[in-house]
Amino acid sequence: MPSDDHLHYSSKNAHNILLPEEECTLLEEVAQGSVQAYTRLYNLYLPTVHQYIAKFLNFHIPDIEEIAQDIFLKIWKRRESLIAIRSFEKFLYVVSRNTLTDFYRVKKNLKLKQKDDELIELPNYPTDEKLITDEYFALAKEALNLLPEKRRKVFELRTQYDFSLEEIAQETHLSVSGVHQNLQKATSFVQAYLKKHGLEVTKLLVYILLTIH
């Protein structure tokens, strides 16, 4: 189980870390539902989260990216609580640790491995703040409707009703690993569908597009 006691900032991102008063203002804006503020928070702390995950897991880059997206999705869903947080770094650490542990439980056959404290390079995406529009939401919903029925149900239970993997497994009569695979495939399909229409977006934005409307 991950046991590091705090997050270590990437040297490439350290100069972007906010002053306390700036962080407080940003968290207040996110708590009020500002996608622009949330996107800034995401862009600021994503390299730090990637580095933290990479220290413990010897997975392929897509797995590291998936865990990071799940972490930030949880933060978005709990955004109203951010206004009462004294230290976002500590909050982010707790969410990251718990998400990493949950992911490991799903993949019991994979071993946690402490890695050298180095930053893993991941794909860069354009800023997402201007992408939350009715047109993009419509395309995401269109892609969702093209999924096989059971896969669509798995995705909707996760994004619309916030079911845990275990609850989805029970509801759909799939194994937990089967649920996980269906979520991956559904998200990748929607992401690829948007890309086909000229929209290069993160998996996280796919989730947000299908949860805020």
**What is the mean predicted confidence (pLDDT) over 70-79?**
87
Q: Indicate whether 132 pLDDT > 80.
A: no
Q: What is the pLDDT of residues 53-62, one digit of tens each?
A: 887 766 566 7
Q: What is the pLDDT of residues 2-42, one digit of tens each?
A: 555 555 544 344 445 677 888 889 999 998 888 888 888 98
In CATH, what number is assigned to the domain containing residue 38? Answer: 1.10.1740.10
Note whether residue 162 is domain-resident. yes
Note whether residue 117 is domain-resident. no
Q: How many domains does the chain have?
A: 2
**Whether residue 154 sits in one domain with residue 89:** no
**Whether residue 141 sits in one domain with residue 98:** no
Helices (H), 78-133: 88-106
In CATH, what number is assigned to the domain containing residue 152? Answer: 1.10.10.10
**Whether residue 101 sits in one domain with residue 138:** no
pLDDT at 10: 45
* pLDDT tier at 98, thresholds 50, 70, 90: confident
pLDDT at 99: 84
| Average pLDDT of the chain to the nearest whole number | 75
Q: Indicate whether 123 pLDDT > 80.
A: no
Name residues whose C-beta falls within 8 Å of residue 24's C-beta, 6 or more positions apart in sequence: none
For every residue of 118-166, DSSP letters joined together read: -PPP-------TT--SHHHHHHHHHHHHTS-HHHHHHHHHHHTS---HH
Could you tell me the residue range of the domain that residue 101 belongs to?
14-106
Task: Annotate 135-156 with b (16+ C-beta within 10 A) or e (fewer).
Answer: ebbebbeebbeebeeebebbbb
